[in-house]
Chain A
């Protein structure tokens, strides 16, 4: 059953230096406050897994918490580059960043395999692309029934998966709705999981298209109102598109970035 704890306690008890941690949320419900807590507790040598690295990964990388990134699209959506991600890959600042790079479909299927208790997932994809050459977690596989050549992608089972959701009840059952991305698979693939929520309520009344994660599938729930900003939580607050645009300037220069982090996160 999920324990309801503070965000600070949850990160301190569930995460270790060197762990593989997935932070999921596809544009919507990005676990930003949990990422900030990881930065404040000065974790090191993390492997971060995230389809769309986004601002939180840029901050984790720039803060020196990440030694490896497993991802499929590393940009600032609709704006341009993630400058801290680029600086790490292009110039090794603040340290070298190893990458394992996929397509969205490929990384998604790695979570699906992880959630399913299988060593790999099978898909059409990668053939003829450079990704097929550079990733060690993609390999050819022959269909035993048709002889067709397909691609296998290795399962991913993060030590900890962190997501943000709209609500939980007092027993730790979690409810999210709107764009729910790959969060269910990421939680089920994780050896442990933490869900930050906008609010804790008496009763989870149904919402159209909601995803319910029963308490017994989740390790911990932490209350964190506004925990997704500047991403958004449908029904609570909107995406702060202006901040995504502003991040381009804040993150471009190392000193400006560090001073913003000092003022806003640390």
Chain B
């Protein structure tokens, strides 16, 4: 058997997410984990991925990993820069974005996302940054890919606040709410990959990352997680993928 180089679960998560992106896709990218995965995809199999950041930079091609969604290098390397009204009203709202790529603090079984508060909205135990571009990215992109680290605190049975809608309360809800994109197609964590069941819209564990036990996923999910009949193991990172992720340098001064 081929020797597999050691890798961290965060590296596996970013690499698994990067593999979902392809050349010439128009991808609206949230900062943090999604930005890292998208920039990794550009260095591997998707050099022509069209990255859009909510600062209005279209087709940014940074050489370093940006710290913010409005770093100077995103602007300098963009095909063009548009205003914030233009990016939301003319590009996102009419459905011109192929993939919305989002992170969140919490997710539920219907892939609804919370990035607003932990606890009561008016008396929060933790006040999170809030919505930013996420609600409309989640509602209007043709499809949505979500990335977050998995634990019983992040995969919860009931969200204290719905910042961005996945499948709402279940099948038919997106249509009822007038949300025009298809919604989340995949949720990628440091433990595995989840996809919505076509009928029930509930997230199902379809891939488990190498060296992760199913019990670990079960313990790290705040609801009774469904597991695919044919559970697959995610391909481990290749040497090339690991080299690329480790060479991603963050933009500091």
Chain A interface (Cβ < 8 Å from any Cβ of B) = 26-28, 51-52, 71-75, 77-79, 81-82, 85-86, 89-90, 101-105, 108-109, 111-112, 123-131, 134, 148-150, 178-182, 184-185, 209, 232, 234, 238-245
CB <8 Å contact, A103 and B253: no
CB <8 Å contact, A51 and B84: yes
CB <8 Å contact, A130 and B136: no
Give the residues in chain B near A109, CB-CB below 8 Å: 85, 88-89
Instruction: Determine, out of B66-74, B147-155, B220-228, B236-244, the stretch whose residues face the partner at the interface.
Output: B66-74
CB <8 Å contact, B75 and A90: no
Interface residues on B, range: 35 or more
CB <8 Å contact, A130 and B161: yes
CB <8 Å contact, A108 and B81: no
CB <8 Å contact, A123 and B89: yes
- From B80, B136, B161, B163, A124 is in contact (CB under 8 Å) with B136
Question: Chain B, 154-198, contact with A by CB distance < 8 Å: what is the 0/1 string?
Answer: 000000011111001000010001111000000000000000000
- From B76, B129, B177, A74 is in contact (CB under 8 Å) with B129
A8 to B32, CA, bound (A): 38
CB <8 Å contact, A27 and B70: yes
Minimal beta-carbon separation of A80 from chain B (angstroms): 9
CB <8 Å contact, A134 and B121: yes
Tell me if B83 counts as interface (CB < 8 A to partner A): yes
Tell me if B135 counts as interface (CB < 8 A to partner A): yes
Minimal beta-carbon separation of A87 from chain B (angstroms): 9
Known contacts being A78-B66, A232-B72, is A181 close to B131, with CB within 8 Å? no
CB <8 Å contact, B69 and A129: no
CB <8 Å contact, B70 and A26: yes
A129 to B136, CA, bound (A): 10
Tell me if B57 counts as interface (CB < 8 A to partner A): yes
Known contacts being A103-B134, A105-B89, is A242 close to B54, with CB within 8 Å? no
CB <8 Å contact, A242 and B133: no
Among residues of B, the one whose C-beta sits closest to the C-beta of A209 is: B81
- From A74, A149, A244, B130 is in contact (CB under 8 Å) with A74
Cross-chain pairs A/B with CB under 8 angstroms, 6 sampled? A26-B70, A72-B130, A72-B132, A108-B85, A124-B136, A184-B83
Tell me if B125 counts as interface (CB < 8 A to partner A): yes
A71 to B72, CA, bound (A): 23
CB <8 Å contact, A81 and B116: no
